[in-house]
Amino acid sequence: MLLLLPSFTYRAPDFVEAARRLKVDVVVASDRPQALRSIMGDRAVVLDPRRPTEAVEAAVDLARGRPIDAVVAVDDQGVELAAKVADALGVSHNPVAAVAATRNKGTMRAALDGAGVPQPRWRLVSAEEGPAGVVAAVSALGPPCVVKPVSLSASQGVIRVDGVGGTAAVAERVWSIARDAGRGDAPLLVEGYVDGPEVAVEGLLRGGELHVLAVFDKPDPLEGPYFEETIYVTPSRLPSSTAAVLTGCVGDAAAALGLAGGPVHAELRVPDGRPVMLELAARSIGGLCSRALRFGLGMSLEEVILRHALGLPLAGLVRESVASGVMMLPIPEAGTLVAVRGQAAARAVPGIAGLEITIPRRRPVVPLPEGDRYLGFLFARGSTAEVVEGGLREAHACLRVDIRAAALSADRE
């Protein structure tokens, strides 16, 4: 198994543990493998997604001495390269163009429009058109609208505008965020804002057929101006008839993009019980959120993904019967993390199954929309989704985040 991991990822240990359980030999590829040496030793190689031709050649050279049966990317940054490498090695993979479409929101929107998949009204604005083009797009669509970069994820750079006034400044801000992430010349996507509850669908494509693994409710309203996600709870409390329509919408979207196999993660709004596709990614749920899911007799989502990639049996692909959930802990302000206090009290809340603070102390923290990560993750299990949600909120209320503000930090230095 060749496993593509970005230099910064939470998920390396979970995938490595899944491979150990399956007795699979794993080589980890990253743009900076030294970050993974402590986990993989000499089984870490350099494959840089920013240099795809060189990366594919290096993977082919690697496979000459160590045959590779499957290629799996963990996060958005590696999915396109994984498809190219798998294509060069002749192992099972999604079409490269299909995966590339999931990495460009403009390409995705065009493909979904062509297939009649319900989605927000949208306009693409080039860097050459600049802020004036974004203002014109908002005026044409009618506010409120959402402005976002075409190739960033995790709500980074996503901002709602409620009127034409102020839109130019928002456009400048979003392009600045994109530039800082190395995407400064890419267009911006302007979408009509869709009201209603938001859900996430975790699925696995097998021979082009979608198998839904979980539907998550997002009980906190995501109304903007920024779209920082917090709580995911499954099973969904939507009517079963609505859940069936969601499944059909995600399957149609995957087919429209040309995806045929592997994990998918979809985000939808459901105004009046009608699904509207926001995003579809050719990878599994991000961060440590997968730890909220268990299948069969304790199978992790990572094991499900590796089994599928290797063509191993997937009997019992049913989520555990108890309700579960995860809370992505928001970063309240920019600065330097001093401490997260109250962790013992949070862990003692009934139903809490785990708490992981993923940013070390004395490290800089940046909230959305400029930031691209969360402070950590809370996990809970319970008899119902309501119980799980209540436990997550109670545990979060126990935490006190101590951040030395960025301005104070500069003054002291």
389, part of any domain: yes
- Residue 343 above 90 pLDDT? yes
Which CATH number covers residue 48? 3.40.50.20
Range of the domain at 42: 2-95
Q: Cis bond leading into 225, ω under 30°?
A: yes
pTM: 0.93
- Domain count of the fold of the chain: 3
Picking from 47-51, 290-294, 365-369, 401-405, which range would have the lowest pLDDT averaged per residue?
47-51
pLDDT in tens, 202-257: 999 999 999 999 999 999 999 999 999 999 999 999 998 898 899 999 999 999 99
143, part of any domain: yes
The DSSP bridge pattern shows strands 276-281 and 262-269 to be antiparallel
Residues 74 and 130 in one domain: no
Would you say 314 and 351 are in contact if contact means Cβ atoms under 8 Å apart? no
204, part of any domain: no
Would you say 85 and 222 are in contact if contact means Cβ atoms under 8 Å apart? no
CA torsion 66→72→77→81, rounded to 10°? 50
Residue finishing a domain among 34, 60, 95: 95
pLDDT in tens, 171-185: 999 999 999 988 878
- Phi, psi angle pair for 268, to nearest 5°: -135, 150
